[in-house]
Amino acid sequence: MTIVDDQRLTSPAAGPAPESKYVEADGVTYHYHDLGAGPATIFLHGGGPGCTAWSDFGPVAPYFASDRRCLLVDILQYGKSEKCRITGPMWDFHAAKTVALMDVLGIDRADFICNSWGGTIALAVAAHYPERVRSLVVTGSMPVFYGPLAPLPERGHRGRAARDVYYGGEGPTKEKMRELITRLEWYDADRLPDETVEMRHRQSLDPEETALAAMSDSPRGDWQDLTGQLGQIEAPVLFMWGREDAFLTPDYPLMLSRMIPRGNLHVMDHTSHHLQEERPAAYHAVVDGFLHSVDHP
């Protein structure tokens, strides 16, 4: 007889966001939430329409906050952080600003737990500023533009195409947001909380985010492939991947884990691109074990 742990297959809503905090770092303003106490752990979210630190990590944050200081950061151009124009290589820009944020917050070294867009930022931080990164957990990120077996879906532009569709036509609607999430980010549409759809849709209506989306990729900086940087990463990296990820199948992170000296891979069933939301208890159990192994090898 098969026993299923119902708790680990539960997808709770994030709930009300905690207190907002703001700080200026190297000429830009970041918005973040600060929870718990312990080793500094920075959470960087994905780049989908309406994504924020709380929408992407709110369901799993309480697990980590029990013994860690969790800094849930809205990356630039998202949430309540500054909608600044990004110039030059995009990941280098984000990495430098992230380190400036750490300086202002008095964080010398941190663990990073990241989804999609945020994971590529963290990989750039680890490559260029190795002394600032203790470990990384990366989910659904695309730091290189090729796969080991076949071309990437839609030549790696699936996210950009989905963003254009969402903001195009009649503009953002809750129905379009639900369709986007269930098609590309979640494995089980029946487990998607209405509150998550509402939160993402509401944020996507921010006039500055809508204006950025209308500009396509021009305000996001120059697209940058990190092939040359991955081998320089000294920190241990855990790639946490959904078995049914709609952007990048598990052969892709397996390739990445072999490009990084201390790369590891865990593939989770019943999840797609946002496993930290779909199965937060199971996600925490695996990531917590990895982080403890880093602390006590």
Summarize the confidence of residues 93-122 as an average pLDDT.
Answer: 98
18-295 fold: Rossmann fold (3.40.50)
Residue 216: pLDDT band with limits 50, 70, 90: low
Q: 3-state DSSP call for residue 18?
A: coil
Distance of CA 17 to the CA centre of its chain: 17
d(CA 95, CA 92): 5
Looking at every residue in the chain, the average pLDDT score rounds to: 93
d(CA 143, CA 127): 12
Summarize the confidence of residues 132-146 as an average pLDDT.
Answer: 97
Query: Is residue 230 a contact partner of residue 144, using CB atoms and an 8 Å limit?
Result: yes
| Predicted TM-score (pTM) above 0.85 | yes
- pLDDT by residue (tens digit) across 230-280? 999 999 999 999 999 999 999 999 999 999 999 999 999 999 999 999 999
d(CA 266, CA 94): 26
Residue 8: what pLDDT?
Answer: 47
For the chain, the domains span: 18-295
Question: Comparing 30 with 8, which gets the higher pLDDT?
Answer: 30
Report which of 24, 226, 205 is spatially closest to residue 121, judged by C-alpha positions.
Answer: 226
Query: Is residue 43 a contact partner of residue 73, using CB atoms and an 8 Å limit?
Result: yes
* pLDDT surpasses 80 at 296: no
Residue 6: pLDDT band with limits 50, 70, 90: very low
d(CA 198, CA 276): 18
* Amino acid in the structure at residue 14: A
Total length of the chain: 297
Report which of 291, 233, 296 is spatially closest to residue 70, judged by C-alpha positions.
Answer: 291
Count of Cβ atoms closer than 10 Å to residue 295 Cβ: 10
